[in-house]
Amino acid sequence: MRKFSIGRYVLPLYSLLALVFLLIPIVYTIIFSFNDSTRSNTVWEGFTLTHWVNVCSRQDVCEALNNSIFIGLVSTLFATILGTALAIALVRYSFKARSLVSLSLFLPMATPEVVMGAGLAGLFFNIGFAPGMVTTIIAHIMFCLSFVVVTVKARVQTLDPTLEEAGADLYANPRHVFTKITLPLLMPGIVSAALLSFALSFDDFIITYFNSGSVSTFPKYIYVAASRGVPAEANVIASAVFILAIVVVLATQIRGALKRAKLAK
């Protein structure tokens, strides 16, 4: 006879409760994106699709979204390029202060964002650099750089150097070896790092708040608007971002499963 074990039921129940707790804010955001509200979006007033159809009827919401996308794309571009170069240098080359550079790249990941944000704000103030779009982009590059280096570095460490040596033996110059062999092999890690960097930049509030000045980003707009009720248009954008992320993940998983099934035949 099988013995009764309370642990057998506690863990699934705990997992279910944790999942429900995490999903409550997301469900609330999606539901209130359909709320027929005009000023305050804290009380349900009826169902409507108006906010989904005319999401940019609130210009301040779309302006904040556009700023977040622009800052995310620019900071991701620079962080990915610099981070990839640093990752290759740290793995493939020996130089003085290599350990110090590697340690310093991990510090932003371990440092609280409020410390990094306040430190950068103080630096910009001391050199007479007014907070705005440029300071926000620089701060986001500094913040995302470490995550790019760690992600790409893991990919570089898995590469087989003999592949590049084979290319050199076939009379390919260093530029062709990098563009035809190294870069394609690194591309999965680079793309992953870029996506992570964009997600971190788009979602960041603390570092942005210290260094953005009058520039409004989407997380900053949500924080300011939270005291009087987040507009339904902002809930629409947040819901769309969440749905898009789910679609991308599902598409990636399905594509990988189809590819594995094809290779198994």
Q: pTM for the complete prediction?
A: 0.84
Q: What is the mean pLDDT of the chain?
A: 86
For residue 123, give Cα distances in angstroms to 127, 135, 232. Answer: 6, 10, 37
Confidence of residue 224 (pLDDT cuts 50, 70, 90): confident
Q: Is residue 180 part of a domain?
A: yes
Confidence of residue 4 (pLDDT cuts 50, 70, 90): low
Which CATH number belongs to the domain containing residue 143 in this structure? 1.10.3720.10
Give me the percent of the chain exceeding a pLDDT of 90: 33
Q: Is residue 256 part of a domain?
A: no
Q: Is residue 222 part of a domain?
A: yes
For residue 221, give Cα distances in angstroms to 115, 181, 247. Answer: 22, 44, 26
pLDDT at position 193 is 93
Highest mean pLDDT among 8-12, 54-58, 181-185: 181-185
Instruction: Report helix, strand or coil for 2.
Output: coil
- What pLDDT, in 10s, does the model give residues 119-162? 999 999 999 889 999 999 999 999 999 999 999 998 888 888 88
H helix or E strand, kind and range, residue 219: helix 218-225
Q: Looking at the predicted structure, is the pLDDT value of residue 3 above 70?
A: no
Indicate the number of domains in the chain: 1
Q: Is residue 8 part of a domain?
A: no
Q: Is residue 111 part of a domain?
A: yes
pLDDT at position 206 is 92
Q: Measured between alpha carbons, how far is 201 from 159 in angstroms, rounded to an integer?
A: 29
**Of 75, 77, 90, 78, which Cα lies nearest the Cα of 150?**
90
Measured in degrees and rounded to the nearest 5, phi and psi for residue 113 equal: -60, -35
pLDDT at position 205 is 92
Q: Looking at the predicted structure, is the pLDDT value of residue 247 above 60?
A: yes
pLDDT at position 1 is 52
**Of 60, 207, 221, which Cα lies nearest the Cα of 136?**
207
Residue bearing the bigger pLDDT, 240 or 164? 240
Q: Looking at the predicted structure, is the pLDDT value of residue 167 above 60?
A: yes
Q: What is the mean pLDDT of residues 245-255?
A: 87
Task: Identify the burial level of 159 via C-beta atoms within 10 angstroms of its C-beta, where 0-12 means exposed, 13-18 middle and 19 or more buried.
Answer: middle
pLDDT at position 238 is 87
Q: Measured between alpha carbons, how far is 82 from 109 in angstroms, rounded to an integer?
A: 17
Q: Measured between alpha carbons, how far is 126 from 121 in angstroms, rounded to an integer?
A: 9
pLDDT at position 74 is 96
Q: Is residue 21 part of a domain?
A: no
Instruction: Report helix, strand or coil for 23.
Output: helix
Q: Is residue 191 part of a domain?
A: yes
* Full residue range of the structural domain in which residue 107 is found: 59-230
- What pLDDT, in 10s, does the model give residues 73-110? 999 999 999 999 999 988 888 888 888 888 888 888 88
Q: Is residue 68 part of a domain?
A: yes
